[in-house]
């Protein structure tokens, strides 16, 4: 029986994960490493452990009798934390180091996509400027330059002309993204509508959690700089059941099968960034964990099945798992950021009065970049709070979310007003 769970991460995603675990079993004992001011209300934040030192994490799990570890962000997965926990017989949800390469290396992802015949943008990989530029010319300079490794979501640059291509390639080779940009891929620019798709896999089988649209740009109407995500909505009505079947058959199943054939079974969340083009769905990227803020609009549709679902993946029992999503719920998440985000945001400002705001199971606040200092809530991250609302229609869910946002009295923050407008 699972009683003690350690959740790794500190974002709105991890707060949503804690909430979903407790909804499936309110007697669970949750620890979050390192957590935020929101997780501190429903779990115990662990602040004294260095996540990069895997033996510290293992010691903690053994001392606290941790029954299950849930890893939120990509870096510990790519660093092989799953492998090290498993070597010590600690149950953990997430892919091992090898299969986490799907996110950790864009070159690896493209190779798997090729072997699995997954539709994706045509590309080549480079380590030098001249051949890279020559390929951009072949693509008429309408192309996307990507650092091979992890770059906190910033290693993708869309270019439109020779100068932009040159600048982007040079900046990567000059170390803008550190080692992550020493190798790059250049791919054709795809057009269509973008959507994120989430499944949970157990190495052989998978269950679908559905589709999410996110809003990446900092400004209204998708203008300004890219961010980690300013808001999300789910489900995505533009994706028909037939399109989902096509995505499952052409992208998800062949990828999992190809990995399995290479003795590299994928267990965990597979998050596919997709472009739905005129020629059908194409894979833009794979992530190997839940998205933030996508998770916030996915988990409330699971109807208390979160813990059983995670355990079914860990124990490789998804073939017999009947996941029933609440199809009536429309969900919206709006991210409240610190002014200046995503460049230089204000840090260390206090947020007062959150406890006086009426929250309900249909409309509530999740914490992201917050911390508790002397019992005060302090904003230290760029994305600070999330407001999540559920209703029978997107119009109603938006209204609830924005009504609650107006009650948050925090002069140092801002949010986009147009989240989920395109779902109406
Ligand atoms: P990625 O991290 O690879 O998903 O890229 C980040 C964002 O860049 C995606 O969400 C897309 O908006 C955009 N993008 C990436 N690859 C392409 C492409 N081949 N064509 C058009 N847009 C792309």
pLDDT band at 354 (very low <50, low <70, confident <90, very high): very high
Tokens 């840090």 locate to 347
Going by C-alpha positions, the residue among 7, 2, 6, 4 that lies closest to residue 295 is 7
Position in ligand 1 atom list of the atom nearest CA 282 = 19
Nearest ligand 1 atom, CA 190: 20
Q: What pLDDT score does 45 carry?
A: 98
3-state secondary structure at position 344: coil
Centroid of ligand 1 to alpha carbon of 292 (angstroms): 17
Q: Give the atom of ligand 1 at the shortest distance from the alpha carbon of 191.
A: 21
Nearest-atom index, ligand 1, CA of 153: 2
Mean pLDDT for 174-195 is: 94
Residue in the structure block whose two tokens are 């390192």? 34
CB-ligand 1 contact for 222 (6 Å cutoff) = no
pLDDT for position 123: 97
**pLDDT on residue 383:** 97
Distances (CA, A) of 399 to 12, 294, 368, 383, 406: 21, 19, 22, 21, 11
Q: What is the position in ligand 1's atom list of the atom closest to the CA of 146? A: 3
pLDDT of residue 96: 97
Q: What's CA 420's distance to the chain center, in Å?
A: 18
User: Which residue's CA is the nearest one to ligand 1's atom 8?
Assistant: 156
Cα–Cα distances (Å) from 389 to 329, 386, 400, in that order, read 10, 10, 6
For residue 248, what is the DSSP state? I
Q: pLDDT, tens digit, for every residue of 114-128?
A: 999 999 999 999 999
Query: What is the gyration radius of the CA atoms in the chain, in angstroms?
Result: 21
Supply the angle between the helices 106-115 and 253-261 in degrees, to the nearest 10.
Answer: 100
* Chain segment 378-402, per-residue pLDDT in tens: 999 999 999 999 999 999 999 999 9
What integer best gives the mean pLDDT of the chain? 96
* Sequence-separated (6 or more) residues with CB below 8 Å from residue 231: 214, 215, 293, 332, 333, 334, 335, 415, 416, 419, 420
88, with CB counted inside 10 A (0-12, 13-18, 19+), is middle
368/388 Cα distance (integer angstroms): 12
pLDDT of residue 199 exceeding 90? yes
347 compared with 19, residue with greater pLDDT? 19
Alpha carbon of 380 to ligand 1 centroid (Å) = 28
pTM for this predicted structure: 0.96
Residue 221 has pLDDT above 80, yes or no: yes
pLDDT in tens, 317-331: 999 999 999 988 999
14 lines ligand 1 (CB under 6 A): no
Question: pLDDT grade, residue 346 (50/70/90)?
Answer: confident
* Confidence (pLDDT) at 289: 98
The structure tokens listed for 20 are 């979903």
Least confident segment among 87-101, 266-280, 340-354 = 340-354
Tokens encoding 299: 């988990």
As a whole number, mean pLDDT of residues 352-360 equals 95
DSSP SS3 for 333: strand
What contacts 260, CB < 8 A, 6 or more positions away? 203, 204, 266
Give 187 Cα–ligand 1 centroid separation in angstroms: 10
Please tell me what DSSP assigns to residue 240.
Answer: -
pLDDT of residue 226: 87
Rounded Cα–Cα distance for residues 397 and 296 (Å): 13
Read off the pLDDT of residues 257-309 as tens digits, 9 standing for 90 and up. Answer: 999 999 999 999 999 999 999 999 999 999 999 999 999 999 999 989 999 99
Q: How large a percentage of the chain has pLDDT more than 70?
A: 100
The rounded Å distance from CA 164 to ligand 1 centre is 16
């Amino acid at each position: 029986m699972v009683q003690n769970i350690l959740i790794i991460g500190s974002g709105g995603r991890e707060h949503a994960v804690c909430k979903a675990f407790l909804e499936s079993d309110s007697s669970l004992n949750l620890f979050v490493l390192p957590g935020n001011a929101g997780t501190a209300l429903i779990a115990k934040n662990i602040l004294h452990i260095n996540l990069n030192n895997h033996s510290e994490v293992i010691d903690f799990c053994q001392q606290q009798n941790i029954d299950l570890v849930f890893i939120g962000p990509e870096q510990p997965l790519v660093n092989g934390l799953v492998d090290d926990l498993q070597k010590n017989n600690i149950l953990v949800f997430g892919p091992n180091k090898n299969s986490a390469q799907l996110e950790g290396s864009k070159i690896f992802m493209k190779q798997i996509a090729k072997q699995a015949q997954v539709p994706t943008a045509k590309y080549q990989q480079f380590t030098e400027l001249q051949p890279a530029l020559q390929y951009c010319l072949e693509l008429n300079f309408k192309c996307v330059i990507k650092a091979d490794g992890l770059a906190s979501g910033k290693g993708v640059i869309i270019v439109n002309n020779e100068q932009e291509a040159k600048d982007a390639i040079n900046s990567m080779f000059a170390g803008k993204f550190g080692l992550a940009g020493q190798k790059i891929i250049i791919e054709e620019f795809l057009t269509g509508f973008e959507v994120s798709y989430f499944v949970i896999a157990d190495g052989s089988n998978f269950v679908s959690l559905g589709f999410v649209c996110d809003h990446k740009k900092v400004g209204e109407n998708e203008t300004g700089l890219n961010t980690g995500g300013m808001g999300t909505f789910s489900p995505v009505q533009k994706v028909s059941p037939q399109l989902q079947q096509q995505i499952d058959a052409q992208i998800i199943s062949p990828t999992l099968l190809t990995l399995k054939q290479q003795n590299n079974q994928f267990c965990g969340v597979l998050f596919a960034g997709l472009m739905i083009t005129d020629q059908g769905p194409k894979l833009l990227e794979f992530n190997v964990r839940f998205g933030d803020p996508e998770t916030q609009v996915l988990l409330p549709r699971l109807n208390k099945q979160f813990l059983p679902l995670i355990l079914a993946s860990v124990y490789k029992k998804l073939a017999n798992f009947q996941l029933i999503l609440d199809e009536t719920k429309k969900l919206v998440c709006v991210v409240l950021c610190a002014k200046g985000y995503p460049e230089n945001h204000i840090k260390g400002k206090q947020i007062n009065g959150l406890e006086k705001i009426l929250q309900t199971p249909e409309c509530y606040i999740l914490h992201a970049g917050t911390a508790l200092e002397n019992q005060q809530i302090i904003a230290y991250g760029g994305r600070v709070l999330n407001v999540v609302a559920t209703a029978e229609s997107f119009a109603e869910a938006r209204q609830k979310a924005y009504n609650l946002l107006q009650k948050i009295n925090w002069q140092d923050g801002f949010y986009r007003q147009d989240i989920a407008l395109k779902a109406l």
